[in-house]
Each structure stands twice: as C-alpha cells, then as structure tokens.
Amino acid sequence: MSVRHNWSTVRKTCLLIVRRCYAVEVNSAERPSTSRKNASFSLKKIDLVPERLHRHLFGSPIPKNILKDDPFEVLDLPHLEGSNLLDHFQNTATKQFEPYRRLLVEAANIQKLPAMPEKWVFQPGWTRYAINESPKPVGQPFEDLIFFDVEVCVRDGLLPTLATAVTPEAWYSWCSDRLVNDVDVPELYRLNHLIAFEADEKDLKYRLIIGHNVAFDRSRDLTTYCAYDIVACFELYQVLYPEFIKRFPHPATWLGMLEIGNVYLPVTKNWRKFFDNNEARANNENKTAAIGVVYAARELIEKLEKPTPSYEHDPWMWSVDWSSRKGQNFPIWYESLLRTRNLVYTPLEELSQTDVKLKSRVVPRIFGLCWGPYPLHYKTDKGWGFLVPKDSHIVLSDVPDVEEVVLRRGVKARIPVKAILGVIQQNISEGVGNVVLTHSHSSISVFDFHKLPHPNGEHDNVGDPISKAFQLEIEEGVLWPMRCKKEFADLYRARNTTRFWNNYRDRFQEQVTVWLDENGNEGAIAPSIIPAGTVTRRAVHKLWLTAINPKDDQMIGTNLKSMVECPEDWHIVGADVDSQEQWIAAMLGDCCVGKGIAGATPFSNMLLAGRKVDHTDLHSVVAKEIGISRDKAK
C-alpha cells in the first residue's frame, strides 16, 4: 500500500527535548548469567528519571528507587494527548491516521468492482470508464480510493508506459505520450512525464492508492493484463487487510508505513555531476589497471618464451595453455585475458578498461601471488589455494626438475617441482613470514594443497584471491606478488576504489529523478521503499538503505548520501535509530527474564549502562569473552 502526494513541501515546527539521566541501583534478586558459566559480568547502575517526569511520561506505579531530587522542576513539560506516553502515541496516531483508516476499511468492504471495459481508449493521459457512460478524458481519477497498477517498458527507460486504475465508481486507463505518439524519451524527466493523481497544490486531500509491487512491475505492455493485475490486487487486499490489522495493531505502525512509503529525496544538478565524475574516475582507475595487467602479461611472455621457452619451469604459469592458434604469436592463455582475439596486438595506450578481464583466473598467476612463502595454485574442484612441501626438510637436490601429474579429468601436466620448492625456500630465507596451516585438502607431487581460507568456512572455495575478502591479507603482506609489483598495486587499488561504485552504479541509474525547473537544477527522487521489509520491520531499499557511510576519498561513490541536497534556504535534519535490533532484544529479555526491570539482564544492562571507556559495553564484553578484538566483535 502506498499514499502519494504531489511534490509539495510542508514546513513543520519540531519540539526538541533535551534529556538528562541519573543513576540508581537496580535491586534484583535474580541475576541471569551469560551463556558461559564462567563468564563474569556485574550489573551496573541504570539511569532513571525523577518522580514528576516519571508520572508525566509513564503514570503509575512509581518505582521505589527513583531519583529524589528533581533537576527538571523548572522545566515546563509538554502536554500529552492522554495520561501517559503510551496513550499519547495511541491517541495522536489514531487521530492522524483516521482519514486513511476510513479509506482502508472502505476498500476492505467493497462487494464488487465495476465491470471492466471491453475496449480501452488509446490516447495520452487518463481516460475514465464510468458505468453507462462513454469513455472520456480526465485530468486524474476523481475518487479518493484507488486500486492501481503501472507498466514500464525497460528498453524505453524508467518512465511509466501505461497504467490502469479502478475505484468503487469507475475504471481508468492511462497512456504515455511516448506510447501513443511515439515521441522520444526525454533526457531529463519532468512532472508531466509522470502519472498525475492531483490537479495542483490546491487539490491536496487524503487519498489512498493501493497496488501490489507497483514500483517493480517491468514485464508486460498490454492494458487488459494490467487491469487484471488490479483485480488480483483487489482480491488479495481484501484477504490480507484483516490479517494485517491483527499483526500490526497499533495505529502508529499503520501511519508510519504510509508515511515512509510517501518519502522523497531532494537533489540538485550535482546528482548528475556525481554520476559523471564517478564514471570518469572508475574508468580511469580500471584503465590503468587493465593496461598494467596486459603489460605484465606481455613482459612475462617475452621472458618465458625468449630466447628459449622456459614456461614449463615457472611456478605459476606451468599449468596454463601456452599453445598458439594458427597465425598467432601469442599463447591462448593471453587471448583468454582479452575480451576479443583481435585485441592481442592492440597498443597498450589504446586499450580500454572493458577490453581486459581483470578477474580472469590467469591474473594471480601473472603476478606470481604467494600466501606467505607458498605459491598460489588453482584446482577446479577446490578453488584457489597454495602449495606446501609435504616434508619441511626436503632439499632441492632430492627432487626432480619436473614431474608428470594428472590434473582434472585425466589431463596430464608437468609440474616444475624444483622451481616451486626453490621459490618457497627463497622466500623463507628472505624472511617472508609463515602462515597458519590447517589440514591439507589434496596433494600434487611432493606438495600438499591447502585451500585459501574462505569467509564462509572451508566448505566453500575461493574463486578470486584479489577480492574484498583478502583485503587485510594483501595490505599486511600475507598475500603478495613476486613480480610486476607496481602493476599489481595498480590493479589492487582499482579493485578497491571501484568496488562500491561497480556494485551500486546500476542502482543509482534505476532512481527515477524528476526535475522541477527548466534547467534541471532542482529535482526530487521518489525511492521505491518497502516500509517493513525485515523481521524487525525496518524499511528496505536496495540503494538508500544499504549504502555505506563515506569511507574516504579513495573509495568511489561512498559519498552517495551527500548528494541528497536541499534547495536554497532549506536544511536537512538527520535522525537514526542506533542498534535497533539490539534494543528490541534487550527489551524482550527484560520483559521475559528480568521481570520487567530495565537493565536486569546482562544484555540490556550493557546497552543501557555499558561504556566503551571501561570496557563494559556489549562489543567489549563479547570480545573479552571469546578472545577477539572489539572491532571483530562489533
């Protein structure tokens, strides 16, 4: 369900209350233990409020251990709509929600929808199909209760293509000018490109528009199908509404869900500049990385093929395909690094970031990556890992130069045993730190194969050793290149700086931005928010409610939220619920285990009274109990 107003702004005056809290003892006969029997945690004092403030907010009964002195005695407490804070929210939300409640109830009690038109009028804008009347064009639906569905043609952009609606009185259809008259998709979206439900700001009133996945429908382009979607939505609503009332009994929840589905974000021309700048930066970083990878590959070919081939003795490149196609001077593994074969002779400076497969499986081999002192190796069924001598005391003179081994599907290859062992011994002699070894996952020749550690556990295989999961190991030198270190640094920097933008670019472009002035200086975005998308009823949006806070200037795009900008003379005030799920868990614990006393359980006590400075906050206690750092516990 969603309620939509037009792009109007209402100024509201907010009352700010400064809160101070004072500590009292918690008297609890029972002190629930943490999960470990030998865990030690002392319940701390909990900050409560004085009697006058307690009566005003919570009514009675009054706790025995309230603060005696009232530091708020000169504070004029605001009027509540009821005898306590709970009544205030109940009464206020009920009053504000009442116009919508009447419409919701009306929708749930509709016995029968008007008959669907047998023929739809193909003309731009809204057309009304009333009972016993000829279809006629209208500016917008007349009624306040509307079931609605819209269709978007993906190839045509993000603007609506056609829509249908039904009210208790009539059916409606809407067609875009692009669909009817085949006009071009506008470069900048305007209000007149959207579907109108209000004539102007004077037409503001309570309206309820009900739709199912309205913002996500991208498939069909036929009016009748769209209309049948509305019928299905109507039938679904009448079944679900009574269940919704049972599961969400408080009017503040209902009002909040409607309001959060009605939000918009103001933006300026900087929104477009932000995208262009990020694209340019990401392209430059990736192009530098691509050129570096190809340069390293060509240098390696030159080194291992001339004057005589020596690739069979390379600790990393021995298992790739060094054969060449007829008429080609480059090996097949090099061709596989490029998007097309005709790029093999392209000068470096002419290559673009899209010409090179920067996540190709041959890239770690080109740079000679090691895990500690051990060279990396890839096995089809095990993913990336590293080779460790079975006998730590083995000497070079005891092993052959090469040994024939059987790889996947019976393919035979010659592994350069002496060269691999030589690299390991050289690294150890030069002080390369060792790594923690668990059990091996297979063996090849005189080496055990150990899988690289996967964040999800050893049952999963690592497909990309230069991914975010190994950022710490790369920065600490555990995972490192033995050759072409500058080019590897360029690749690693590009992977890091463009990771966020690569993941969020498409989400950015999916935002429907409507520009409100002729020059496109001021605009707004109406994000498709799911009001209660998690078990704790958090709102969900794949861009705005998942975007991380700015990391630094090096990670492209993380300052996305700063692109929400007000028009001149306006200001944005931010608010956030910190650790929402933890607070919910703490309240449940105090109600069920702590007999309703705030802070009676260790979990809630840490949240209410724990402090980072004396290591009594939740993250510090968890870190101490299981022997990890606070950052990892967090």
Query: Both 505 and 472 in a single domain?
Result: no
| Assigned domain for 82 exists | no
Tens of pLDDT along 156-178? 788 899 999 999 999 999 999 99
Beta-carbon count within 10 A of 419 CB: 20
User: Looking at the domain assignment, is residue 271 inside a domain?
Assistant: no
Helix-strand-coil split of the chain, %, nearest 5: 35, 15, 50
User: Which runs of consecutive H residues, i.e. helices, occur in 141-260?
Assistant: 177-181, 223-247, 251-260
Q: Which residue has the higher pLDDT, 561 or 313?
A: 313
- Asked if omega into 137 is within 30° of 0 (cis), the reply is no
pLDDT in tens, 330-344: 999 999 999 999 999
247 and 335 in a single domain? The answer is no
| Same domain flag for 168 and 45 | no
Do 404 and 552 share a domain, yes or no?
A: no
More confident residue, 387 or 203: 387
Residue 386 domain boundaries: 276-496
* Per-residue pLDDT tens over the stretch 580-595: 888 889 999 988 887 7
- Within 10 Å of residue 411's Cβ, how many Cβ atoms? 10
Residue 572 lies in a domain: no
pLDDT tens readout for residues 516-546: 988 999 999 988 888 888 888 888 888 888 7
The answer, yes or no, to whether residue 495 has pLDDT greater than 50, is yes
User: pLDDT at position 21, please?
Assistant: 29
Written as one letter, the residue type at 463 is G
Q: Which stretch of 73-87, 112-126, 194-208, 470-484 has the lowest confidence by average pLDDT? A: 194-208
In our burial notation (b when 16+ CB lie closer than 10 A, e otherwise), range 518-547 reads eebebbbbbbbbbbbeeeeeebebebbeeb
% of residues, the chain, pLDDT over 90: 58
Say yes or no to pLDDT of 19 above 60. Answer: no
Same structural domain, 482 and 598: no
pLDDT at 477: 95
Final residue in a domain of this structure, among 461, 496, 531: 496
**Statement: residue 16 has pLDDT above 50:** no
The predicted pLDDT at position 232 comes to 94
Average pLDDT of the residues in 362-386: 97
Q: Per residue in 105-158, pLDDT tens?
A: 999 999 999 999 999 999 999 999 999 999 999 999 999 999 999 988 877 788
> 301 is written with which tokens?
């070919």
Q: What is the pLDDT averaged over residues 365-375?
A: 98
Same domain, 309 and 434: yes
Could you give the CA distance from residue 232 to residue 340 in angstroms, rounded to a whole number?
Answer: 48
pLDDT for 552 equals 66
Q: How many domains does the chain have?
A: 5
Q: What is the pLDDT of residue 575?
A: 79
Residue 341, C-beta contacts closer than 8 angstroms, at least 6 positions apart: 325, 328, 335
Does residue 519 fall inside a structural domain?
A: yes
Residue 140 falls within a domain, yes or no? yes
Rounded to whole angstroms, the Cα distance separating 103 from 258 reads: 13
Give burial (CB, 10 Å; 0-12/13-18/19+) of 14. Answer: exposed
On whether residue 476 sits in a domain, the answer given is yes
Per residue in 246-278, pLDDT tens?
998 999 999 998 888 888 899 999 999 999 999
Q: In what order do the strands lie in the sheet with 513-515?
A: 265-268, 522-525, 513-515
pLDDT at 31 over 50: no
CATH of the domain at 194: 3.30.420.390
**Least confident stretch, 24-33, 67-76, 619-628:** 24-33
Q: What confidence score (pLDDT) does residue 30 get?
A: 43
- Whether 609 is in a domain gets the answer yes
pLDDT in tens, 549-581: 776 668 999 988 889 998 888 888 887 777 888
- Percentage of residues in the chain with pLDDT exceeding 70? 91
> Domain boundary residue among 262, 295, 323?
262
In a domain, 602, yes or no: yes
Mean pLDDT across the stretch 598-617? 89
512 shares its domain with 423:
no
- Mean pLDDT across 52-69: 82
Range of lowest pLDDT (205-214, 236-245, 271-280): 205-214
Yes or no: say if 556 and 281 are a contact pair by the CB < 8 Å rule. yes
In this structure, the answer to whether residues 253 and 181 fall within a common structural domain is yes
Query: What's the pLDDT at 533?
Result: 85
Q: Do 167 and 46 fall into the same domain?
A: no
Same domain, 224 and 284: no
- Final residue of a structural domain among 262, 292, 327: 262
Give 112-155 as a 3 state SS string. CCCCCCCCCCCCCEEEEEECCCCCEEECCCCCCEEEEEEECCHH
Q: Are residues 161 and 245 in the same domain?
A: yes
Local confidence band at 23 (pLDDT 50, 70, 90 cut-offs): very low
Same domain, 289 and 357: yes
